[in-house]
Structure 1
Amino acid sequence: TEVCNALLHRIDHPDCSLDEIMAHLPGPDFPTYGTIMGTKGIRSAYESGRGSIVMQAKTMIEPGEAGKSLIVITEIPYQVNKTTLITSIAEIAKQRKFDGILRVDDYSDKRGMRIEVELRRDVNPNKALNYLLKHTALRTTFGAIMLTLIDGAPRVAPLLTLLDRYIAHRREVIERRTRFEVYRALEEVHLNEGYQIARRFLDEIIQLIRNSEDPAQARAEMVRRFDMSPFQANAVLAMPLRRLTRIQQRELENDYKAAILRVQNLLDILNRPERLTQVMKEEIVQLRDKFGDERRTRIVAREAGEFTEEDLIPDEEAIVVISRDNYIKRVSIDAYRQQRRGGKGVRNVLKADDEPAHLFQVSTHHTILFFTDRGRVFRLKGYEIPEMGRYAKGTPVINYIAIDSEERVTATISVKDIQGDGYLVMVTKRGEAKRTPLSAFANIRSNGLIAFDIEEGDELRWALKTRGKDDIILVTRNGLSIRFPEDQLTSRSRTAGGVRAISLEGDDEVVGAEVVRPGAYLLVVGENGYGKRTELDEYRPQGRGGKGLLTMNVTPKTGPIVGAEVVEDDDRLLVMTVLGKGIRIKVKDVRLVGRIAQGVKLIDLAAGDSVRSIARIVQSADDGDLEADGDGEEPESEE
Structure 2
Amino acid sequence: MAEETENENSLLPANDRIVKINIEDQMKSAYIDYSMSVIVSRALPDARDGLKPVHRRVLFGMEELGVTSGKPYKKSARIVGDVLGKYHPHGDSSVYDTMVRMAQEWSLRYPLVDGQGNYGSLDGDPPAAMRYTEARLRKIAEEMLSDIKKDTVDFQLNFDDSMEEPTVLPTRIPNLLVNGASGIAVGMATNMAPHNLTEVIDGTVAYIDNRDIEVSELMQFVKGPDFPTGGIIYGHNGVREAFETGRGRVVMRAKAEIEATKSGREIIVVTEIPYLVNKADMIKRTVDLINEKKIEGISEIRDESARDIRIVYEVKRDANANVVLNNLYKYTSLQSSFSVNNIALVKGRPMLMNLKDMIHEFVEHRHEVVIRRTKYELAEAEKRAHILEGYLIALDHLDEVIKLIRNSDTPEDARVGLMERFGLSDLQARAILDMTLRRLTGLERDKIKEEYAELMKTIEYLKLVLSDESLRMQIIKEELIEVKEKYGDERRSLIVHSAEDMTMEDFIDDEEIVITISHNSYVKRTPLSEYRRQGRGGKGAIGTNTRDEDFTEHIITATAHNYMLLFTEAGRCFWLRAFEIPEGSRTSRGRALQNIINIPKDDKIKAYILVKNLKDQEYLENNFIIMCTKQGTIKKTSLEAYSRPRANGINAININEGDQLLEACLTSGKSEIVMALRSGRAIRFNESTVRPMGRTATGVRGVTLAGPEDEVVGMISVDSSEISVLVVSEKGYGKRTDIDDYRITNRGGKGVKTINVTEKTGNLVAIKGVTDQDDLMIINKSGIVIRIGVDSLRVMGRATQGVRLITLKEHDEIASITKVVREEDENLDEENVEGQQTDNTDLTDDVNTEEQ
Secondary structure at 1:637 match in 2? coil
Residues 400-411 of structure 1: pairs in structure 2 closer than 5 A: 400-411=596-607
* Per-residue deviation, residues 578-609 of structure 1 (Å, max 9, x unmatched): 11111111001112110011111111222332
* Per-residue deviation, residues 437-459 of structure 1 (Å, max 9, x unmatched): 01010112100000000001111
| Partner amino acid, structure 2, of 1:570 | Q
Q: 1:92 to 1:515 in 2, by over 3 A?
A: same
Q: What is aligned with 1:587?
A: 790
Q: 1:596 to 1:467 in 2, by over 3 A?
A: same
| Partner amino acid, structure 2, of 1:95 | E
On the 8 A contact 1:85/1:136 being kept in 2, the answer is no
In structure 2, what is the Cα distance between the partners aligned to 1:305 and 1:325?
39
Q: What is aligned with 2:507?
A: 312
Q: 1:347 to 1:489 in 2, by over 3 A?
A: same
* Per-residue deviation, residues 195-241 of structure 1 (Å, max 9, x unmatched): xxxxxxxxxxxxxxxxxxxxxxxxxxxxxxxxxxxxxxxxxxxxxxx
| Partner amino acid, structure 2, of 1:587 | V
Q: Provide the aligned length of Structure 1 versus Structure 2.
A: 391
Q: 1:484 to 1:304 in 2, by over 3 A?
A: closer
**Cα offset for 1:137?**
14
Indicate whether 1:398 and 2:594 are aligned.
yes
| Partner amino acid, structure 2, of 1:77 | I
Q: What is aligned with 1:499?
A: 700
| Partner amino acid, structure 2, of 1:497 | T
Bigger mean CA offset, 351-360 vs 491-500: 351-360
Q: What is aligned with 1:66?
A: none
On the 8 A contact 1:337/1:627 being kept in 2, the answer is no
* Structure 2 unaligned residues grouped into runs of 5+: 1-229, 234-256, 269-282, 300-315, 336-495, 847-852
Q: What is aligned with 1:441?
A: 642
In structure 2, what is the Cα distance between the partners aligned to 1:116 and 1:91?
19
Secondary structure at 1:383 match in 2? helix
Residues 100-115 of structure 1: pairs in structure 2 closer than 5 A: 115=318
On the 8 A contact 1:472/1:486 being kept in 2, the answer is yes
On the 8 A contact 2:530/2:586 being kept in 1, the answer is yes
Secondary structure at 1:593 match in 2? coil
Q: What is aligned with 1:142?
A: none
Q: What is aligned with 1:370?
A: 566
| Partner amino acid, structure 2, of 1:380 | L
**Cα offset for 1:620?**
2.9
Q: What is aligned with 2:710?
A: 508
Q: 1:391 to 1:103 in 2, by over 3 A?
A: farther
Q: 1:351 to 1:103 in 2, by over 3 A?
A: farther
Residues 196-207 of structure 1: pairs in structure 2 closer than 5 A: none
| Partner amino acid, structure 1, of 2:810 | A
Q: 1:605 to 1:308 in 2, by over 3 A?
A: same
Indicate whether 1:487 and 2:688 are aligned.
yes
**TM-score, normalization: structure 1?**
0.56
Q: 1:404 to 1:137 in 2, by over 3 A?
A: same
**TM-score, normalization: structure 2?**
0.43
Indicate whether 1:636 and 2:843 are aligned.
yes
Cα RMSD for the two superposed structures: 3.5
Bigger mean CA offset, 560-569 vs 413-422: 413-422
In structure 2, what is the Cα distance between the partners aligned to 1:577 and 1:92?
50
Residues 183-202 of structure 1: pairs in structure 2 closer than 5 A: none
Secondary structure at 2:641 match in 1? helix
Residues 30-429 of structure 1: pairs in structure 2 closer than 5 A: 77-79=258-260, 95-97=292-294, 115=318, 130-131=326-327, 134=330, 306-353=501-548, 354-418=550-614, 419=617, 420=619, 421-429=622-630
In structure 1, what is the Cα distance between the partners aligned to 2:597 and 2:662?
18
In structure 1, what is the Cα distance between the partners aligned to 2:809 and 2:656?
38
On the 8 A contact 2:830/2:837 being kept in 1, the answer is no
In structure 1, what is the Cα distance between the partners aligned to 2:760 and 2:528?
30
Residues 552-567 of structure 1: pairs in structure 2 closer than 5 A: 552-567=755-770
In structure 1, what is the Cα distance between the partners aligned to 2:258 and 2:612?
33
In structure 2, what is the Cα distance between the partners aligned to 1:425 and 1:530?
28
On the 8 A contact 2:535/2:838 being kept in 1, the answer is no
Q: What fraction of aligned residue pairs are identical, expressed as a percent?
A: 38
* Structure 1 unaligned residues grouped into runs of 5+: 1-50, 55-75, 105-112, 118-125, 140-300
Q: 1:131 to 1:53 in 2, by over 3 A?
A: closer
Q: 1:623 to 1:137 in 2, by over 3 A?
A: farther
Q: Which has the larger radius of gyration?
A: 2
Q: 1:592 to 1:305 in 2, by over 3 A?
A: same
* Per-residue deviation, residues 367-407 of structure 1 (Å, max 9, x unmatched): 11000000000001111112211011010001111111111
**Cα offset for 1:568?**
0.7
Indicate whether 1:578 and 2:772 are aligned.
no
| Partner amino acid, structure 2, of 1:423 | F
**Cα offset for 1:623?**
2.6
On the 8 A contact 2:681/2:752 being kept in 1, the answer is yes
Q: 1:114 to 1:102 in 2, by over 3 A?
A: closer
| Partner amino acid, structure 2, of 1:319 | V
On the 8 A contact 2:297/2:319 being kept in 1, the answer is no
On the 8 A contact 2:726/2:770 being kept in 1, the answer is yes
**Cα offset for 1:556?**
1.6
Q: 1:52 to 1:130 in 2, by over 3 A?
A: closer
**Cα offset for 1:85?**
6.8
More strand by share: 1
**Cα offset for 1:631?**
5.0
Secondary structure at 1:603 match in 2? coil
On the 8 A contact 1:472/1:515 being kept in 2, the answer is yes
